[in-house]
Structure 1
Amino acid sequence: MALLTDALAGLANLPQPAVLAVTGALTLAECTLGVGFLAPGESALLLASTTVTTVPRFLAMWLVVTLCAVAGDSIGYYLGRRFGDRLRDSKIVRKVGQQHWDKAGELLRRRGAWAVFVARFMPVVRTLVPASAGASKLEYRRFLPASIAGAACWSALHIGIGSAAGASAKYIESVFNGAMWVVLGVGVLVGVVVVLRKRKQAAQPRELEEVA
């Protein structure tokens, strides 16, 4: 646990602009077709969010991540607009599974622009929905508001989870450090009892032999 909190402390000591820049870049990549399957955007966001300890930091990260997520969605949308359903047969989509592309298309057919919002919380599919929306000729004026709403809610949720996880790790370490000596004492006591019992059991056969 100390190792974890030391790592979080090291991350927290980095300049906040650097943390925001790296997190934003990875979020942009994660939300862009072709890169989203390789860039650990969501994991990076959760980790970076452990540095969020104040409301201004929360708002700054929320704004940066939301803007980068929307930008990534827009890039995916225009790729879909440009190449259409040919993207389904691309190497990247085949690698991740064409069934996910089909699922994204089906979601768009059933939900329209609302699918862009819903897909933001669905792994893999969220990377494909913007491109699929572009390929399906969904109007950008309908796509963009759904993308902004989804990105804003998604980023707020993950930043909140990451921030709470960082605070919890520090709290658990403080509790553990206080309880460590109690646990150690109990362990020593149990060890002494076990040793004394084994010695007593070993001595009993010798006593019986002497009596015989």
Structure 2
Amino acid sequence: MSWITDILDTLSDLPTPVVLLAAAAFSIAESGLGVGIVIPGETVVLVLGAAMDNPVALVSLFLIVGLANSAGDHIGYFLGRRYGHRLRDTYPGRRIGAANWDRALQALQRYGAWAVFLTRLLPIVRTLTPATAGMAKVPYPHFLPASLTGAYMWSALYVFAGALAGASVERIETVIGNTGTVILVVLVVLVLVVFALRRRRAGAVRSAAAPLVRRSTVSVGSDEAGADGEPQAGGKRG
């Protein structure tokens, strides 16, 4: 057996309540305000789905993951209702970036409460849409069905995809052998490297744009002062 099967066997030997608790924690983090950006909740749920060795445990995982994922939505929603647009001005809110907040707001303006469902698979935005719905004071009876539907769609996708992968992993290993496993690992590493480079490039673009924004603000302020009739630095009084 390869290391993949060993990991799945180890997870299968854990008590089911422990597995469900871990799945719930990562599912809440996945859709929690901003946390889902750095917590790979879908990866954990996928692996845990692959480790389930009986239908009862698999269905329990599906139900728990969906409920927990919706609970993460609720954290963002109620924080949005409580603090409004001040959330964007907090340190985590600024780190997320105004562009991502704007994307969530645009989705909400276009689709209403169902943006919570429709953005479920969009990176970053999915964690901001519930909070944006709270900021916009979307009625809770509209928010709840959108959150539950999106959460259980997300749960079904990753739990049952994991189960299918787990059921076929031994067959896959027989076909591809150890060489295929090495190739798979290399591909995963390459994907992670590309992801890291893209994040670094995006950070560099934001850093380069910041001085331009500050200079633009200063220029606008100077123009407004001149328009009000106030003397500008170095100017002559009439």
Q: TM-score range by the shorter chain?
A: 0.7 to 0.9
Partners of 1:29 and 1:41 within 8 A in 2: yes
Q: TM-score under structure 1 normalisation? A: 0.79
Unaligned stretches of 5+ in structure 1? Answer: 178-212
- Partners of 1:98 and 1:116 lie apart in 2 by 18
Paired-residue identity, %: 47
Unaligned stretches of 5+ in structure 2? Answer: 178-238
2:27 equivalent to 1:27: yes
Task: Letter of the 2:111 partner, please give it.
Answer: R
* 33-42 or 106-115, which deviates more: 33-42
Please tell me whether Structure 1 or Structure 2 has the larger radius of gyration of its CA atoms: 1
- Partners of 1:69 and 1:85 lie apart in 2 by 23
Trace 1:6-17 onto structure 2 (pairs within 5 A). 6-17=6-17
1:123/1:34 Cα in 2 relative to 1: closer, same or farther (>3 Å)? Answer: closer
Helix, strand or coil at the partner of 2:35: coil
- Partners of 1:79 and 1:166 lie apart in 2 by 38
- Partners of 2:8 and 2:56 lie apart in 1 by 19
Task: Letter of the 1:102 partner, please give it.
Answer: D
Aligned residues: 180
Q: TM-score under structure 2 normalisation? A: 0.70
Task: Letter of the 2:17 partner, please give it.
Answer: P
The structural deviation recorded for 1:21 is 0.4
Detail structure 1 runs of 4+ shifted over 6 Å in the superposition: none
Partners of 1:23 and 1:48 within 8 A in 2: yes
- Partners of 2:52 and 2:151 lie apart in 1 by 18
The structural deviation recorded for 1:99 is 0.8
Bigger relative CO (Cα 8 Å, ≥ 6 apart): 1
Partners of 1:5 and 1:173 within 8 A in 2: no
The structural deviation recorded for 1:51 is 1.4
Q: 1:156-175 CA deviation, whole Å, 9 max, x = no partner?
A: 11111111122222212244
Partners of 1:118 and 1:150 within 8 A in 2: yes
Q: What is the alpha-carbon root mean square deviation over aligned residues?
A: 2.1
